[in-house]
């Protein structure tokens, strides 16, 4: 299996940046996956660009106020996700 990796920030123009990264790597939506640790930035950007997103735990949880606030907002979505995963619901 051949895997290409590109690391970059998504904060400004995420769809445009993802499309450029895919073009740089010679990939497209059908064979690209974005791995990220934030629902409202990384996973949303993947969904918006039409690619699969994988939510991973943060390597080091940031302590700045903005990140703490986003993590707080993510909790209800993550609870719902985990509940669906436990029951096997794929909707």
* Residue 6 falls inside a structural domain: no
CB 50 within 8 A of CB 30: no
* Residue 9 falls inside a structural domain: no
pTM given for the model: 0.68
The confidence score (pLDDT) of residue 90 equals 64
Euclidean distance between CA atoms 9 and 84, whole angstroms: 30
Taking only the tens place, the pLDDT of each residue in 40-66 is: 888 888 999 999 999 898 877 677 888
Please report, to the nearest 10 degrees, the dihedral formed by the alpha carbons of residues 81, 57, 48, 18 taken in order: -160
pLDDT-derived band of residue 10, with 50, 70 and 90 as boundaries?
Answer: low
* pLDDT greater than 80 at residue 3: no
Q: Which domain holds residue 25?
A: 14-87
When divided into structural domains, the chain yields a total of 1
* Residue 67 falls inside a structural domain: yes
* Residue 2 falls inside a structural domain: no
High-pLDDT (> 90) share of the chain, %: 14
Helix (H, G, I), strand (E, B) or coil at 8: coil
């Amino acid at each position: 299996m051949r895997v290409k990796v590109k690391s970059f920030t998504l904060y400004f123009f995420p769809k445009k940046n993802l499309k450029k990264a895919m073009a740089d790597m010679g990939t497209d939506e059908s064979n690209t996956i974005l791995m990220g640790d934030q629902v409202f930035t990384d996973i949303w950007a993947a969904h918006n660009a039409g690619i699969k997103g994988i939510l991973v735990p943060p390597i080091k949880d940031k302590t700045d106020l903005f990140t703490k606030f986003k993590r707080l907002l993510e909790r209800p979505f993550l609870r719902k996700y985990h509940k669906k995963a436990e029951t096997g619901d794929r909707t």
